[in-house]
Chains A and B, each alone.
Chain A
């Protein structure tokens, strides 16, 4: 089991990681999700021992790793740009970890052959790594990281450098391979869909903090903060004031809303921001929990339509429908009290 306690790291005088603590259970796959440049890769390098931290500790099964150099930690790390050794063939790259362990040649070549098979690269062994396509390089990097049987595997944006179709295909291959490995995995990405697909547990990193952790469904349905809601694409924000507490009623420029989805307690007259979920709008309805909007723009998105509205107060909001609406049409939209999120 991996545990990190109170890790802080400055970069260029700014606090990049602020007092981060987390654990990864055996056989658990956690996913660190966050915007680019948020210190996710740095955290991986700190765990690997490649980078120093201002304070904090890294433990493996209760042992403090401060004095264990990176090459003795047996933590595998797959780099975003793969970091394949340009002067070695595919075989030599994959075999590197086993050679460092001092395994004998015959055994190495057998294991390398198995690894090539696992990542679908049989017959590629003698190639130079720069003759490979991006997807092939990615699989070599994966095989290289996995072959020495690390006790922890870290993947830094493993699909980040690939184009969309390749990403989907290799993503499912990656899930298959990881599920066979039975080791703890830390997966870093800035892509939500990727994170949702792979994570047992999701940790969102923002401005040096882990802002929320939980299963993908929990985090997506009930983001803890307004920033998180926006991060997951919920951008229909509506400021207002608390009118009643039972039931919780909020007065806004677009009318009154009752929301029952509360994370915490609020006070009467407190300023709050409501988030109207973009996927839960129903047409029709009047009075409380309904708003009037004029269709401004219709964007086809494959499985449905994202429709931009201009609201009564002149603000813009977007909602998802399974059918197209006519531009210029005035429509009333209503929301279930349970679906509206409320933040201080």
Chain B
């Protein structure tokens, strides 16, 4: 039975290679995810054992939990309320400007929170356009609107952020909903309203629920928006963790809050997984345009225009305000003069290259951009490498594929702040912070991006039919050549898309970074956050200028991703090809 032995040997050899494929990423997860998480648990339990339950400040905990749920629920409902009509629009009509709106609606998802916060600040903040214009018109000395630092500002930013998810999830389902069912109900005598209530809505319900849960999760774990838009009065679990750690160094309380946060978000994540959805990668699907009609009736045109304009305002005004605020400089106006005194200037951008003595960093702000680009590049490459390894391993191990889904979704269910706290406790507390401490930032970013990378890369890899590999093998291709000649050329779009996403995520990451960044090596979002909170027009303008740079890099990424998708549509999958044969 020498042949059987040989076959077993061969199997062992390939098993070993594949083991390395998943053992390496697993070790990475173990050291940089599970170990920090364990540290959080240990820190909070140690305190509990020492002082018992009485040692906690119950009021802070209760208030934080209560407000977290309150704002998340409210934000999610508001997002659905605005998103569902938009989803209807996208799934039923073809109209001018749709392509533009489609991209505009996708943009927020890869926009960093600091950019969004800066945008809304430039629009409705104390020093924002709305206040400036009103002050000008009514000659006021104080800004009349105080939306900033209110619940309303938080809700607005959350709607801005998540409306694209609602549109995507629900319009995809709406489009696939069989129109014949509605027609059948009509011929059976149901009025349009009854059809909507008894046929359309029940068919859409699963996707509405899925959208609700996804948006709720993002609102629940939202950190940057609340910190920057809500101001000191509004503290969610996330913000409280940050404050307890960074301001009071109350690590046990911060750890406990992180555990509570983790438990809730895991609950929501598993609810999402049980609806059959995994991570959202918000690429707007290119729809089959044949089901869409152009608006004909006057009422349709009015409704469509209204929804489009409303969407355009929500999505674009903050960004336009941001851009304008970074490019227009206010001159010092002589007393009594009525001239508005604004002129176009690149001053704020030029100032980014200076390193003023009183700078809160020791470097010129532009250095933050360089840091961020470097971090993002290494984080995205690491993320893609890990993702490809895991996806490659899961192709041969079916059980592993199921485990993998859960294993990698864990980082998704973990908020960035919890992440940051864990890494801070595990690696940052040692007496003299080690030299490699700044490298934690790209590692954390890589982990945060990993679920997204996998979501893109894994299905692409699995979609490659087995017989393409077989064909290549019988034609003399060794495993490495198969990877280079078959797999990589087929999945490169997905891989590049994943890389861009991981890059954008890292570039804008704020929550975990705020725990890990060192003053002398700031990232761009951290720098923007600091400058926004500083007094003085120049600092404000520079924050805006940095946000604009971030905005442009992310928008460029989105355009690349969109382009990759666009070309992809023209190329039928192998499956389709074989069906035609």
Q: Which residues of A contact B (CB under 8 A)?
A: 45, 48-50, 52-53, 55-57, 64, 66-67, 69-77, 79, 81-88, 96-97, 100-101, 129-130, 134, 137-138, 144-145, 148, 150, 161
Is A48 a contact partner of B1 (Cβ separation < 8 A)?
no
Contact A79 B467 (CB under 8 A): yes
| Nearest chain B CB to A21 CB, angstrom units | 14
B7 within 8 A of A: yes
Query: Which residues of A have CB within 8 Å of B490?
Result: 86-87
Contact between A70 and B577, CB atoms less than 8 A apart: no
Q: Could you say which residues of chain A place their CB within 8 Å of the CB of B7?
A: 52-53, 66
* Complexed CA–CA distance, A64 and B571 (Å): 43
B6 close to A67 (CB less than 8 A): yes
Q: Which residues of A contact B6 (CB under 8 A)?
A: 64, 66-67
Q: Would B467 and A96 count as touching, CB distance under 8 A?
A: no
Residues of B within 8 A of A86 (CB): 468, 490, 571-574, 577
Known contacts: A53-B7, A55-B3, A134-B580. The answer to whether A100 contacts B481 by CB under 8 A is yes
Residue of B nearest to A162 (CB): B581
Give chain B residues whose Cβ lies under 8 Å from the Cβ of A85. Answer: 468, 471-472, 486
Question: Are A48 and B474 within 8 A (Cβ)?
Answer: yes
Inter-subunit contact B581/A81 (CB<8 Å): yes
Residues from chain A with Cβ under 8 Å of B250 in the complex:
none
Q: Mark B1-15, 1 if CB is under 8 A from A, else 0.
A: 111101100110000
**Which residues of chain B are near A55, meaning CB under 8 Å?**
1, 3-4
Which chain B residues lie closer than 8 Å to A56 at the CB level? 3
Q: Is the CB of A71 within 8 A of B473?
A: yes
Contacts A66-B6, A83-B471, A86-B490 given; does A96 touch B477 at CB 8 Å: yes
- Tell me the minimal C-beta distance from A167 to chain B in angstroms: 13
With A87-B489, A134-B581, A137-B581 as contacts: A50 and B473 at CB distance below 8 Å: yes
CA distance A52 to B8 in the complex (A): 9
Q: Are A70 and B580 in contact (CB under 8 A)?
A: no
> Which B residues have a C-beta under 8 Å from some C-beta of A?
1-4, 6-7, 10-11, 465, 467-468, 470-478, 481, 485-486, 489-490, 571-574, 576-578, 580-581
**Contact in complex: B4, A148 (CB < 8 Å):** no
Q: Which residues of B contact A150 (CB under 8 A)?
A: 474
Min distance, Cβ A220 to any Cβ of chain B, angstroms: 30
The 8 Å CB contact of B467, one of A57, A70, A72, A81, is: A81
Contact check, A50 vs B470: say whether CB atoms are below 8 A apart.
yes
In this complex, what residue of A is CB-closest to B6?
A: A66
Contact B485 A96 (CB under 8 A): yes
A69 and B478 within 8 A (CB): yes
Nearest B-chain residue to A74, judged by Cβ: B476
State how many angstroms separate the Cβ of B478 from the closest Cβ of chain A. Answer: 5
* Cβ contact of B3, chosen from A64, A72, A73, A84, cutoff 8 A: A64
> CB-CB < 8 A to B574: which residues of A?
86
- Among A45, A67, A77, A161, the residue within 8 A (CB) of B581 is A161
9 cross-chain CB contacts under 8 A: A45-B470, A50-B470, A50-B473, A55-B3, A67-B10, A77-B470, A85-B472, A86-B577, A130-B571
Query: Which residues does chain B contribute within 8 Å of A77, judged by CB atoms?
Result: 470-471, 474
Q: A71 CA to B467 CA in the complex, in Å?
A: 14
A150 to B476, CA, bound (A): 10
Supposing A55-B3, A55-B4, A81-B467 touch, asked if A130 and B474 sit within 8 A by C-beta, the answer is: no
Partner of B580, one of A50, A53, A130: A130
Question: Which of the residues B486, B489, B577 comes within 8 Å of A129, measured between beta carbons?
Answer: B577
Shortest distance from the beta carbon of B494 to any chain A beta carbon, whole Å? 13
Docked CA distance A256–B253 (Å): 99
Determine whether the beta carbon of A79 is less than 8 Å from that of B470: yes
Least Cβ–Cβ distance between A211 and chain B, in angstroms: 25
Tell me whether B472 and A96 are in contact (CB under 8 A).
yes
Measured CA separation A150–B473 after assembly (Å)? 13
**Minimum Cβ distance to chain B for residue A114 (Å):** 17
Give every chain A residue within 8 A of B4 (Cβ-Cβ): 55
In the complex, which residues of chain A have a beta carbon less than 8 angstroms from the beta carbon of B477? 71, 96, 100
User: Known contacts being A67-B10, A81-B581, A86-B574, is A97 close to B3, with CB within 8 Å?
Assistant: no
B149 smallest CB distance to A (angstroms)? 54
